[in-house]
């Protein structure tokens, strides 16, 4: 008795001939086997005598049959056979990422999915998101900042389904929404006219805008010919 393993075979599986019960010769003569493989009823001569069919030779919906005849050199046994049909393989979610790597509170998050199908089938990709474990109902690959705030945790999920209805799920690593830096202010340097001994004063003319409406603090740095100096106050002494 023979069988083909695995009994439920997929495209990526190697097919193996299994002897569940080997032949015995009444006279104790050595037994040899003739092995033939058939693909969709057609003989595959290149596999004559082989105990395996490489996975590279198989594809979805193919029917493989193996026939085995035992012989002691003079007489042959009845033919034994086993058949297996290659079943559909579900698609595979290879990777998922949320970009940019630093999602800011005033930006948007993009979900990218990489998938493959062992059978070469097309597949549909359905996306979903959670924001702090709550589903906002967004199914697009872009999640805008009207759905999240600073420090929220964003996760993207994918369901990839092939034409046979088999599917695989995947999820991206969580992205925590980062603070948005304040915008640059506009500064003016004030100095009394015609007074070479007067100190210079740097004043904020247009304040910084902050996306989260946080309080903004200012630091100062005076430059000389484009190079930083040791002066970091709003006032630059005239003796500098």
Interval 81-137: pLDDT, tens: 999 999 999 999 999 999 999 999 999 999 999 999 999 999 999 999 999 999 999
Identify the pLDDT of residue 23. Answer: 63
**Cα dihedral across residues 53, 59, 60, 65: positive or negative:** negative
Identify the pLDDT of residue 175. Answer: 97
Identify the pLDDT of residue 25. Answer: 56
> Residue 95: which residues within 8 A CB-CB, separation 6 or more?
113, 114, 170
The ranges of the chain with pLDDT < 70 are: 23-29
Sheet architecture: strand order including 80-87: 9-10, 80-87, 63-71, 32-39, 42-43
Predicted structure pTM score: 0.76
Q: Of 103, 99, 112, whose CA–CA distance to 148 is shortest?
A: 103
Identify the pLDDT of residue 77. Answer: 86
Tokens encoding 230: 């040791």
Tens digits of residue pLDDT in 211-224: 999 999 999 999 99
Identify the pLDDT of residue 31. Answer: 83
Identify the pLDDT of residue 126. Answer: 98
Identify the pLDDT of residue 24. Answer: 65
Q: CA gyration radius for the chain?
A: 36
Local structure of residue 134 (DSSP, 8 states)? B
């Amino acid at each position: 008795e023979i069988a083909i393993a695995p009994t439920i075979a997929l495209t990526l599986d190697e097919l193996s001939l299994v002897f569940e019960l080997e032949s015995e010769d009444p006279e104790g003569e050595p037994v040899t086997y003739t092995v033939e493989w058939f693909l969709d009823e057609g003989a595959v001569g290149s596999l004559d005598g082989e105990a395996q069919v490489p996975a590279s030779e198989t594809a979805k919906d193919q029917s493989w049959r193996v026939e085995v005849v035992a012989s002691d050199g003079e007489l042959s046994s009845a033919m034994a056979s086993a058949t297996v049909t290659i079943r559909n393989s579900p698609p595979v979610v290879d990777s998922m990422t949320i970009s940019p790597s630093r999602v800011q509170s005033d930006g948007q998050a993009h979900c990218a999915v990489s998938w493959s199908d062992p059978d070469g089938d097309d597949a549909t990709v359905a996306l979903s998101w959670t924001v702090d474990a709550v589903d906002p109902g967004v199914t697009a690959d872009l999640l805008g900042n009207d759905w999240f705030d600073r420090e929220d945790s964003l996760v993207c999920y994918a369901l990839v389904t092939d034409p046979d209805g088999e599917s695989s799920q995947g999820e991206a690593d969580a992205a925590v929404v980062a603070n948005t830096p304040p915008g640059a202010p506009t500064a003016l340097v004030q100095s009394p006219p015609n007074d070479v001994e007067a100190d210079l004063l740097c004043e904020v003319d247009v304040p910084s805008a902050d996306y989260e409406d946080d309080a903004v603090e200012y630091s100062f740095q005076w430059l000389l010919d484009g190079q930083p100096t040791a002066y970091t106050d709003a006032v630059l002494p005239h003796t500098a």
